[in-house]
Amino acid sequence: MDDSESPLLVFTLPERLDEHLFIRLHEELCAFCEALRGPYALVIDARKARGISAKQRQLVADTDRRLLAIDRMYNAGQAYVLSSALARGALTAIRWLSPPAFPQAVFEHPGPAIVWARRSLAQRLGQGAQVASSR
């Protein structure tokens, strides 16, 4: 988890996500979002990840429910980075069927995802392109 640009948070998932690491990442995400109490944006870089187990999918759903009220208030946008066109298409389709409470987008590379997240955050903060062009 990289929070060096807080309130922009970047998760880069490793190839192998064992149960303990997956739980720790979700706990860190929840702690970050619950403590911040202000607008934030997330980039989840899952290009290296090789799939998740049923138990891990359940944890994602539990985390979504846990953060629903906070996401509605503060999540300025969530970008997903996926290397597979099939995975990008599947996630886009799932989000069309079950739209999140925040803006979301799917990308092939992290650079455009981070730019999009910065812009979403800047719009939410009312600072225009100032944040989007930083760094």
Find the radius of gyration of the CA atoms of the chain. Answer: 14
Q: Are 117 and 82 in contact (CB under 8 A)?
A: no
Determine the average pLDDT of the residues in 35-56: 85
**Quick one: pLDDT at residue 127?**
60
Q: What is the CATH number of domain 2-132?
A: 3.30.750
Q: With a cut of 50, say whether residue 128 has pLDDT above it.
A: no
Compute the CA torsion angle 54, 100, 50, 82 (nearest 10 deg): 170
* pLDDT number for residue 76: 95
| Residue 114 structure tokens | 């981070």
Instruction: Tell me how far apart the alpha carbons of residues 2 and 44 are, in angstroms, rounded to a whole number.
Output: 10
In the chain, where the domains are located: 2-132
The pLDDT confidence band at residue 131, using thresholds 50, 70 and 90, is very low
Q: According to the model, what pLDDT value does residue 86 have? A: 74
